[in-house]
Amino acid sequence: PIPYTQMKAGDTEAPYDNEQTVWHAMFDDLDNAITILKSAATFGVNQDLAVVDQFYKGDCSKWLKFANTLKLRMAIRISGVEYAQTKAEEAVLGGVMESVGDSSYDTTNGGINENGYAIVSGWPEVRANACLVSYMNGYNDPRRSKYFVPSEWGEGYEYVGIRRSINRSTLGTDAHKYSGVNVAQGDPVVWMNAAEVAFLRAEAVAVFNFSGMGGTAHDFYKKGVELSFEQWGAGSATNYLDDAVSKPAIYNDPSGMNSYGSQLSAITIKWNDSDTPDVKQERIITQKWIANWMLGNEAWADFRRTGYPRLIPADPAGNKSGGVVDNELGARRMPFPTDEYISNKENVETAVSNYLNGKDNYATRVWWDCNFNIR
């Protein structure tokens, strides 16, 4: 719940809307924007916009695809609780991202012309995550060299990540030895990629039985992997997609301190139409997660919504929530900022009481996080 429909310019106080109201209003606002962009796209490149447009240089036809793609993403996000099919079908009919060239990149990185990940890549705590590397190692994924810098642990440990939520002190002075991120100073920041769109459509068909997506789940799944390989210059995806054997690797921490002895998942790569919807969803979300490298908010949203990908639980010693957050479930939302309890006290307290069952913490589920069978 957030202040949305009842906000007025200049006010520091505003009542909160429940989440369903917020989502309906966001769809309305997005649909209005789509109407405007559809009209603007007929006039070609907008030269006034091109001067300040860091993404598409004034090309409103590409912004229209972006808007429809965002609508599709939103529809799938609430697919467990709302009228998602109508919105998803409207988005696809309106035209979504289909090619790598449609993907959205901030080429100026907010005007500073320096990729934020490149700025912090030298910090020892900015390292690849053990879960992602374990999946990609097990799959022998050729995108590893595009995503990561080889580790400094020596033979047998070309790519190795750090386990999430461990106690930082267990790394000692060895943090720098783990694989870093392969990002150069001038690399663009990815906001949305065409591969994600293919996976959204695959899930819509395979899991939710949506019509009007324009193809089969298998076709979209295959296209999602192929688009990701193309985006990262990783060569042909044919052999990767034909692999029905490889599974995520077991995480063996070279330091000997934070290994995880169990296989994270039995999910393989090759599509199988006879699989159950649950298995299909795990396969789709796992590959979507890999393809959405650096889009952490989408990974978090999908994990909360579906329970996939399967991740190494937080280490109890690194869980600083005092028992509020479950080691396997992880944080479910961000609490409201302290300033709200000062500048908007009555409204935020009413929202917590009425919409969050009195609990404003990291473990409180949001409206669309409704799959209580997870884990």
Which tens digits make up the pLDDT trace of 32-83?
999 999 999 999 899 999 999 989 999 999 999 999 999 999 999 999 898 7
Q: Is 133 exposed, middle or buried (0-12, 13-18, 19+ CB in 10 A)?
A: buried
Q: What is the mean pLDDT of residues 133-146?
A: 98
What values do phi and psi take at 196, rounded to 5? -55, -40
Q: Does 188 have pLDDT greater than 80?
A: yes
Q: Does 375 have pLDDT greater than 60?
A: no
pLDDT of residue 374: 58
Q: Which residue shows structure tokens 């001038």?
A: 186
CB 179 within 8 A of CB 161: yes
pLDDT of residue 117: 83
Q: What is the mean pLDDT of residues 351-370?
A: 95
CB 226 within 8 A of CB 107: no
**Residue 2 DSSP SS3:** strand
Those residues whose C-beta lies under 8 Å from the C-beta of residue 18, and which sit 6 or more positions away, are: 1, 354, 355, 367
pTM: 0.95
Q: Does 147 have pLDDT greater than 90?
A: yes
